[in-house]
Amino acid sequence: MTLMPDKMDHVTEAGIRQLVDAFYTKVRADSELGPVFENKIKDNWPHHLEKMYAFWSSVMLTTGRYKGNPMMKHMVIPGMRPELFTQWLALFDETCRELCGEPIRAAFMEKAERIAESLKIAVFYRPDRPWPPQASTNVT
């Protein structure tokens, strides 16, 4: 299989930066994800992007550059809903398809899907509440 010259055929720091930048450009333009991220990040995008470069470097290259707690960060995002993880993954996959050869896309997506599922469970799973949520029986 021959890769197009502009597609990432192995993971590098430069490739991670390109992927993160392209992905968050899509996130910011998305009608559902954009407002949630803008409300949380506000004018601190350079700092957020640096964190994401370090995060994906740690995940994909095992550099240990990321120092943080993604679970706690996602627990306090106003407007976050479970279905937004699906949209996040769709945009991430779209970006990976544009920039990565298939083996690299698959490697990124395997990690992204696990991360998204872990975050979704951490943020939204509450064993003390009935699931699925019950409609109120109070009628006035």
Q: What is the CATH number of the domain that holds 96?
A: 1.10.490.10
Classify residue 111: in a domain, yes or no: yes
Classify residue 60: in a domain, yes or no: yes
Q: How confident is the model at residue 5 (pLDDT cuts 50, 70, 90)?
A: low
Give residue 50's pLDDT.
98
Classify residue 41: in a domain, yes or no: yes
Classify residue 33: in a domain, yes or no: yes
Kindly report the three-state secondary structure assignment for every residue of the chain. Answer: CCCCCCCECCCCHHHHHHHHHHHHHHHHHCCCHHHHHHHHHCCCHHHHHHHHHHHHHHHHHCCCCCCCCHHHHHHCCCCCCHHHHHHHHHHHHHHHHHHECHHHHHHHHHHHHHHHHHHHHHHHCCCCCCCCCCCCCCCC
Q: The tokens 């120092």 sit on which residue?
A: 67
Classify residue 2: in a domain, yes or no: no
Give residue 89's pLDDT.
98
Classify residue 1: in a domain, yes or no: no
Classify residue 132: in a domain, yes or no: no
Classify residue 32: in a domain, yes or no: yes
Q: Which has more confidence, 60 or 124?
A: 60
Give residue 139's pLDDT.
42
Give residue 125's pLDDT.
78
Q: How many residues does the chain have?
A: 140
- Residues of the domain holding 111: 13-123
pLDDT at 66 over 70: yes
Model pLDDT for residues 11-54, shown as the tens digit of each residue: 999 999 999 999 999 999 999 999 999 999 999 999 999 999 99
The tally of domains found in the chain comes to: 1
Model pLDDT for residues 78-131, shown as the tens digit of each residue: 788 889 999 999 999 999 999 999 999 999 999 999 999 998 888 887 666 555
Phi then psi for residue 62, to 5 deg, are 50, 45
Are 31 and 84 a contacting pair, CB within 8 Å?
no
For residues 105 and 109, what is the distance between their CA atoms, to the nearest angstrom?
Answer: 6
Residue type present at position 119: L
pTM of the model as a whole: 0.82
